[in-house]
């Protein structure tokens, strides 16, 4: 299911890209969702990866019956800067579950900092239920954006 979101940041394009390429920021961003000690973060140039085992209590009851083992989430994001700002390609997969997210975004300067416009697709490959789960996931994106904006604003303020 397709989605679009816009996220505002109180920092320049360069500050925001640097934040997204910082391992400590990724650990703060995703750490609460994974089992402590299970995460691995790597940065290679403009490409960052995060992986970890999803905390079992975060798996919705409706989905838990389809889960046979630990779920390992893998997040990869690659950035490229240009004259207009920056662009990224993001991929999220979950080993052990038929779920994936693919997205692209542009990050441009704005009056109060910068704005990231994200376009993507959530895919849940579960017969009969996949479409409903995708709709629920996309419906929750507003809360994800609010959390992302607050987390980023705090990080940027702390690291200026």
Q: What is the pLDDT of residue 140?
A: 66
CB 88 within 8 A of CB 78: yes
Q: What pTM value is reported for the model? A: 0.87
Name every residue whose Cβ is closer than 8 Å to that of residue 100 and which is 6 or more positions away in sequence. Answer: 91, 92, 93, 94, 122, 123
Handedness of CA 31, 34, 39, 42 (dihedral sign): negative
CA separation for the pair 138, 130 (Å, rounded): 12
User: pLDDT tens, 120-144?
Assistant: 998 877 766 666 666 776 666 677 8
pLDDT tens digits along 24-71: 999 999 988 888 889 999 999 999 999 999 887 777 666 666 666 788
């Amino acid at each position: 299911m397709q989605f679009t979101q816009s996220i505002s940041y109180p920092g320049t394009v360069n500050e925001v890209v640097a934040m997204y390429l910082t391992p400590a920021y990724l650990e703060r961003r995703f750490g609460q969702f994974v089992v402590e000690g299970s995460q691995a973060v790597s940065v290679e140039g403009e490409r960052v990866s995060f992986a970890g085992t999803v905390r079992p209590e975060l798996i919705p009851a409706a989905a838990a019956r389809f889960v046979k083992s630990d779920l390992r989430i893998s997040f990869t994001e690659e950035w490229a800067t240009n004259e207009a700002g920056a662009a990224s390609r993001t991929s999220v997969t979950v080993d052990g579950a038929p779920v994936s997210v693919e997205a692209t975004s542009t990050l441009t300067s704005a009056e109060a900092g910068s704005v990231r416009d994200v376009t993507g697709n959530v895919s849940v490959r579960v017969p009969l239920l996949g479409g409903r789960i995708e709709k629920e996931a996309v419906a929750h994106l507003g809360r994800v954006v609010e959390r992302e904006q607050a987390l980023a604003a705090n990080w940027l303020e702390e690291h200026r």
